[in-house]
Structure 1
Amino acid sequence: MDSRELTYFVAVAEELNFGRAATRLGIAQPPLSRTIQQLERRLGITLFTRTSRSVALTAAGEVLLYEGKRALEALTAAGRRAQRAGDPGLVLAMKATIDGDLLEKILAQFAADPAAVEVEVRIGGIGEQAMLLRAGEADAALLRLPHEDADGLAYEELLTEPDVAVLPRTHRLAVRDSITMSDLDGEQLPYWPGSPPNGGPLVRDAAQLMQLISLGRTVALLPASVQHHLRTDLTTVPVTGAATTTLVIAWSPDARSHSLAALVQAAVTASPSAGPFRSTRTG
């Protein structure tokens, strides 16, 4: 198979309509149909069941759709990583306010290394950072586990901290020294892209979340270090028995950049539990 065949197949598999797939690809329908037929003959399998009214994937087609999309994404990422390798700088992706107050220390530590290069810090929405890594658009990312997906990525742990409740200063619980999870019963909690709806608001970035908390539309459980970045109309309260999250620096296990290795080392050195460089973990 080549990438053109896979691209054609994925378009038909997602549209389940040869006409719409051809329009999406910007080609005529007959060559698209011939390409799919040739692919089926060469593989010796049927990818689609076709009637005069419908097109459906077979079990083999379902497998090829999953694997084909991964292969196309890997090809695209490989090209982007090659372009990134030709760029003298590094791109570090992160969400706003999740760095555990380590970003400035990491960058200062890295700047002292002979392999240091310019670092572009790319602030994105919730859930975007790992996607940027896999797509080859970032060299490293600061992620919060277990809330973000590190599957297939290499990473080093930097900081583990408990969650705290982030509340408006006028909230009934804001004057408490600490609360329990049961104290939050009945409160609207947000949910994030990729997580199931829970009746609360869908939140895509930190600024939106803080605005919703300020308006009394939601409360949130966030890492304790968020208190250093809060608006003046918000406050945090410790939560007894709250879950913990771990800040990690993640990168593609296929990366071969000396500057990237130096950035990871700088992050580990700047972390509160700094010690000898630890073995790489892969999600």
Structure 2
Amino acid sequence: MELRHLRYFRAVAEELHFGRAAERLHIAQPPLSQQIRQLEDELGVTLFTRSTRRVELTPAGAAYLERVGAILDAVEVAGAQAQRIAEGRQGALSIGCVGSATYSLLPRLVRALRTELPGLDVSVRGEMLAPAQISALVSGQIDLALLRPPVGGSDIVVETVRRDRLFVALPDADPHAAGTAVHIDDLRDAEFIAHAGHGRSVMSGVVAAICATAGFVPQIRHEVEETSTLVTLVAAGLGVAIVPEPTAALGVAGVTYRPLLPDDPEVELAVARLATEPSPMIEQVLTVLRRVAAAEG
């Protein structure tokens, strides 16, 4: 028995006419009749009663039609699913994301993926520092990482998706919050809230480099892992922080954001993946990501 026998049987059962079923299947009627007889012989039952005037299903044929319909429908569903997976339109995807992009780019990306690739099961891991993302990427815990370069390693491919201005996050009561911008020299004596240092956060190194260029070492009062915690501590008046502009999307009360002078510095936001041939699913997601990031810009 082959699938074609089942397809031939269903066509005859639905048409109840060998001629019409043959036309529907684009075959001649004699071969169709022969295939149905072969199926009946293999099953050892009569599926149709035939006369010169009509064709009818036997009770066994009617019961067989229900099962055959389910089988053929399942085969079609399986084929369609395999095609969607091969085209990258179905599957499971896990995305890691640094704090500032968790509150800006990531929500828009997930909404776009749900609209354009509804067959994807997308999970996100927000507030991940870059080293943790790279570790998760290499171990297969995530498929894509949204992070701040630099990222080392020949086994990782990194693509910049946008550039973010650096702002100073200040408590509302800070005198500098009344201005339109803050010069880095004005922060020489300030206490800083910063992301975890010692190589655990790219932003920690960025802040240290900016302050070093201005000729001082930042006074770090608190180190945190999560951007949301960093902004909350600023709102509590425990210090200031240098953050990417999208951090303002958190909308925490009590915090004022001002551009950083003199050079209006920026940091990159990049997407990282393993340096293997990307799957169709990853290619599809990267296409959507580039479009969303460009629209944000």
Q: Which residue, out of 97, 108, 112, partners 2:111?
A: 108
**Please, what is the CA RMSD of the aligned residues?**
2.7
Change (3 A) 1:207 1:131: same
Partner of 1:136: 140
1:262 aligns with 2:284: yes
Match of 1:28 in 2: none
Which residue in 1 is equivalent to 2:39? none
How far off is 1:191 after superposition?
Answer: 4.6
1:165 aligned to 143, 165, 168, which one? 168
Listed one character per residue, the Cα deviations across residues 107-130 of structure 1 (whole Å, up to 9, x for unaligned) are 333334458511101124433222
Aligned letter for 1:217? Answer: L
Query: After superposition, where does 1:41-56 map in structure 2 within 5 Å?
Result: none
- The 2-side partners of 1:115 and 1:257 are apart by 17
Q: Does 1:203 align with 2:224?
A: yes
- Which one of the candidate residues 248, 251, 256 is aligned to 2:273? 251
Partner of 1:62: none
Question: Could you say if the C-alpha distance between residues 231 and 160 of structure 1 is closer, same or farther in structure 2, counting changes exceeding 3 Å?
Answer: same
In the alignment, the residues of structure 2 paired with residue 191 and residue 124 of structure 1 have an alpha-carbon distance, to the nearest angstrom, of: 11
Shift of the 176–167 alpha-carbon distance from structure 1 to 2, 3 Å rule, reads same
When the two structures are superposed, what TM-score results if normalisation uses the length of structure 1? 0.59
Identity %: 18
- What is the distance in 2 between the residues matched to 1:145 and 1:244? 12
Normalised by the length of structure 2, the TM-score is 0.56
The amino acid that maps onto 2:260 is: V
Of 247, 260, 272, the residue aligned with 1:239 is: 260
CA distance in 1: counterparts of 2:117 and 2:224, whole angstroms: 40
- Between the aligned partners of 2:228 and 2:102, the Cα distance in structure 1 is 15
CA drift at 1:144? 1.7
Q: For residues 151 and 199 of structure 1, what CA distance do their matches in structure 2 show?
A: 32
Aligned residues: 187
Between Structure 1 and Structure 2, whose CA radius of gyration is higher? 2
| Of 268, 271, 280, the match for 2:293 | 271
Match of 1:121 among 120, 124, 130: 124
CA contact 1:107–1:266 (8 Å) conserved in 2:
no
Q: Deviations over 1:205-242 (max 9, x none)?
A: 12321232123222111111211213011110111214
Contact 1:125 1:206 in 2 (8 A): no
Tell me which amino acid in the other structure corresponds to 2:112: Q
**SS of aligned partner of 1:232:** coil
How far apart, CA to CA, are the structure 2 residues paired with 1:105 and 1:171? Answer: 33
- Equivalent pair of 1:163/1:223 in contact (CA under 8 Å): yes
Is the contact between residue 109 and residue 292 of structure 2 (CA under 8 Å) also seen in structure 1? yes
Q: Are 1:182 and 2:185 matched, yes or no?
A: yes
| Local SS of the residue matching 1:221 | strand
Paired residue secondary structure (2:186): helix
Runs ≥4 in structure 1, deviation > 4 angstroms?
Answer: 112-116, 196-199
Instruction: Give 1:91's aligned amino acid.
Output: S
2:149 aligns to what? 145
Identify the range of structure 1 (204-213 vs 96-105) with the bigger mean alpha-carbon deviation. Answer: 96-105
Structure 2: gaps of 5 or more residues? 1-89, 200-204, 209-217
Deviations 1:134-156 (A, max 9, x none): 2221000111234xx35432122
Give the residue type in structure 1 aligned to 2:171.
P
- Preserved contact between residue 158 and residue 273 of structure 2 (Cα < 8 Å): yes
Using the alignment, how far apart are the partners of 1:255 and 1:218 within structure 2?
45
Q: Is the 8 A contact 1:110 1:262 kept in 2?
A: no
Structure 1 counterpart of 2:259, which letter? P
